[in-house]
Amino acid sequence: MMEVQGYNMPEDLYYHAENSWAKVESDGTVRVGMDDFYQKQAGDTTYVDLPFEGDTVSQGETCGKIQSSKWVGKLVSPISGEIVEVNSELENDCRLINKDPYDSGWIMRIKPNNMEAELKNLAHGPDAITKFIENHVAKAKGGG
């Protein structure tokens, strides 16, 4: 786990510009959630509108909504494919996104259909993740 400007960002994940992350699982599926930057900026999650199992999503497509104490944000898929599972625990406690964004606060699992090509579009590795967070912090401060 690396920390960049106060945000915890696991180095093994892939990050989409809209703050969703992707983790390639051993079974070939991709687990998806929202990153630490998102959850800290948004504040306490109050409601999650999840996509449905069986839905097909495209990389960069809005596939759900996340409501917080500050705003309603979009859930953007970092990868294309079929949703094979959604985290039903979020229906009982959507604040898991805040409490544990990279583990129990995951949102969905996708069976990817173009993973190798699409992972190249995401931030991955220490240098890319550092630049990713620096750009987001600058935008949040109105400087980019």
Residue range 48-73, pLDDT digits in tens: 999 999 999 999 999 999 999 998 99
What are the C-alpha distances in Å from 23 to residues 13, 14, 29, 30, 124?
Answer: 5, 7, 8, 5, 11
Asked if the model's pLDDT at residue 144 lies above 80, the reply is no
Average pLDDT of span 81-89: 98
Average pLDDT of span 22-48: 97
Asked if the model's pLDDT at residue 96 lies above 80, the reply is yes
Amino acid 143: pLDDT? 62
Amino acid 142: pLDDT? 84
CB 34 within 8 A of CB 75: yes
Element (H, E) at 138: helix 126-140
Which domains does the chain carry? 2-137 (2.40.50.100)
Phi, psi of 4 (to 5 degrees): -125, 115
